């Protein structure tokens, strides 16, 4: 008798973060079912996963001998047997809550549900989930397959059993989670995003160019990439959404995205994924 196949990790959303999380999992031997709304998006996701998996191996971030399988589908029902489900859709509370609610109706009791949000409170996202004690936040950084630390957000209703399961899942993927309490922006976005916003204001005011701002932050303050190159990696559209979420949920005006960020998004200059943001790039694989 053959051994039963290992349950897959369900990942809903085949964008920048969803594909990177898929690479992280399959690169550590965990099969993935990747779900999105169209076959065209999934075809692009498969190409990105293949390219990123090669990159992960070259960087020593994914052992070549343990890669697992990837299944792509437009049917959310395919996550029904998953060992856990990660929601990685657009940073919109209504869309995220709807996806999480639908996923919770499909999976067995005891299956952890994860939101990969950069700042929407987990307790808020749990309003449509059948079992809110099984919901937790994991803020993966981009690229998820290279950055080994993650922010884990425990809501007031997240159970000990869910936290144990998530800790074990992260350990299998070689990740260390730092657990924080639920709040708008958590820790990383609450600190990083306002810094990026202020850096963009300095550029808009003509105080310094983007490269000079980043050089000063790297050389003087030890920031690994500089705030504006980091913004391009996050995606300026994602950044504007996250800042708007912080402003709405805290009531603090300083979190409102500055005009330069809004202008770049309106022009389609979204950063690395579009080929242009504060810097210019070769367009990423689609």
In a 3-state reduction of DSSP, which class is residue 284?
A: coil
What are the tens digits of pLDDT across the range 83-130? 999 999 998 999 999 999 999 999 999 999 999 999 999 999 999 999
Topology of domain 9-181 in CATH is Rossmann fold (3.40.50)
Alpha-carbon span 101 to 70, nearest angstrom: 24
Of 139, 193, 223, 269, which one is the catalytic site residue? 139
pLDDT at 209: 98
pLDDT at 278: 98
Q: What is the mean pLDDT of residues 241-264?
A: 95
Instruction: For the chain, give the mean pLDDT.
Output: 94
What percentage of residues in the chain have a pLDDT greater than 90?
91
Q: What is the mean pLDDT of residues 156-169?
A: 98
Say whether 28 is catalytic: no
- Where do the structural domains in the chain lie, given as residue ranges? 9-181, 188-266
As given in the structure block, the two tokens for residue 169 are 């899942």
pLDDT at 123: 96
pLDDT at 1: 34
pLDDT category of residue 63 using cuts at 50, 70 and 90:
confident
Sign of CA dihedral 98, 153, 193, 176: negative
CATH 1.10.1040.50 fits 188-266, yes or no: yes
The two most distant CA atoms of the chain are separated, in Å, by: 70
Alpha-carbon span 274 to 203, nearest angstrom: 20
Alpha-carbon span 206 to 8, nearest angstrom: 50
Q: Where are the alpha helices (DSSP H) in the chain?
A: 16-27, 39-58, 93-106, 122-125, 160-172, 188-204, 210-221, 227-234, 236-250, 259-266
Judged against a pLDDT cut of 90, whether residue 11 lies above it is answered with yes
DSSP 112-143: -EEE--SSS-HHHHGGG-S-GGGEEEEEPPSS
Contacts of 281 (CB under 8 A, 6+ apart): 232, 272, 275
As given in the structure block, the two tokens for residue 18 are 């969803």
pLDDT at 30: 95
pLDDT at 66: 66
């Amino acid at each position: 008798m053959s051994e039963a196949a290992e349950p897959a990790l369900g990942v809903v959303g085949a964008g920048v973060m969803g594909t990177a999380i898929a690479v992280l999992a399959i690169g550590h031997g965990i099969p993935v079912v990747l779900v999105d709304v169209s076959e065209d998006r999934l075809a692009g996701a498969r190409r990105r996963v293949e390219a990123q998996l090669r990159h992960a191996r070259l960087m020593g971030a994914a052992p070549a001998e343990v890669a697992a399988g990837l299944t792509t589908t437009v049917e959310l029902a395919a996550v029904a047997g998953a060992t856990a489900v990660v929601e990685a859709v657009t940073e919109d509370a209504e869309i995220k809550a709807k996806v999480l609610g639908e996923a919770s109706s499909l999976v067995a009791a005891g299956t952890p549900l994860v939101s990969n949000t950069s700042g929407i409170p987990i307790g808020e996202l749990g309003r449509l989930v059948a079992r809110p004690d099984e919901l937790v936040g994991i803020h993966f950084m981009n690229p998820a397959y290279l950055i080994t630390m993650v922010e884990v957000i425990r809501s007031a209703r997240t159970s000990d059993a869910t936290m144990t399961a998530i800790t074990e899942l992260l350990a299998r993927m070689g990740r260390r989670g730092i657990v924080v309490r639920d709040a708008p922006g958590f820790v990383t976005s609450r600190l990083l995003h306002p810094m990026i916003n202020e850096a963009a204001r300095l550029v808009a005011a003509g105080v310094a160019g983007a490269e000079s701002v980043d050089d000063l932050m790297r050389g003087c303050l030890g920031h690994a990439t500089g705030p504006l190159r980091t913004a391009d990696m996050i995606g300026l559209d994602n950044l504007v959404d996250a800042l708007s979420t912080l402003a709405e949920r805290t009531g603090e005006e300083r979190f409102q995205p500055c005009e330069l960020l809004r202008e770049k998004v309106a022009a389609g200059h979204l950063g690395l994924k579009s080929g242009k943001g504060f810097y210019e790039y070769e367009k990423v694989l689609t």
